[in-house]
Amino acid sequence: MYGSSRQHAEQYRQMAIATRVADADPHKLISLLLAGACERIRLAEACMDNGDHPRKGKAIGEACAIVSHLNGSLDHEAGGEIAANLASLYDYAVRRLTEANLNNDGDALQDVLALLLDIESAWHAIEPSPSTKAIASA
């Protein structure tokens, strides 16, 4: 019975995430991705502390995938130098996450978490463009 409750809770969580993503404008999607990466890094830290290496590796792999997706979504033509700087930061984050996974390096996880939290904070300070709001309400 316990396993069934856990399974239902996970299904509910996945449905709630899918709903937030489906209803999100592009600005909000980036926010959700940044938050998701930070959540995975925190999970990896907890798993590392508890010696759960398989779960730590999975969480770090998911964080890497999210950061790589963020990197791939950059518009270098429109973003110019800012997009190039973000690409460098995302590349650095993936390298540090890989080091964290290989070496059980909590400091590397903390470095990436701090970096992503800074990016997330800056992202939240940006107002979505009117065209983004129009897309979201369509």
- More confident site: 42 or 8: 42
Residue 98 corresponds to which tokens in the numbers above? 């890989």
Q: How confident is the model at residue 138 (pLDDT cuts 50, 70, 90)?
A: very low
Predicted pLDDT at 68: 97
Residue 110 corresponds to which tokens in the numbers above? 């903390």
For residue 71, give the H/E element and its range. Answer: helix 53-72
DSSP 129: P
Cα of 49 vs its chain's centroid, Å: 21
Q: What is the CA radius of gyration of the chain?
A: 17
Burial of 20-57, coded b for 16+ CB within 10 Å and e otherwise, reads eeeeebebebbbebbebbbebbebbbebbeeeeeeebe
Say which CATH topology domain 2-137 has: Four Helix Bundle (Hemerythrin (Met), subunit A) (1.20.120)
Amino acid (1-letter code) at residue 85? N
Which of 22-26, 59-63, 76-80, 127-131 is predicted most confidently?
Answer: 59-63
Q: pLDDT, tens digit, for every residue of 66-77? A: 999 999 999 999
Q: pLDDT, tens digit, for every residue of 45-54? A: 999 999 999 9
Q: pLDDT, tens digit, for every residue of 7-39? A: 656 565 555 545 554 555 778 889 999 999 999
Q: Locate the domains of the chain by residue range.
A: 2-137
pTM above 0.85, yes or no: no
Predicted pLDDT at 14: 55
Nearest residue to 61 (alpha-carbon basis) of 77, 42, 47, 41: 41
d(CA 138, CA 4): 38
d(CA 48, CA 82): 34
Residue 103 has pLDDT above 50, yes or no: yes
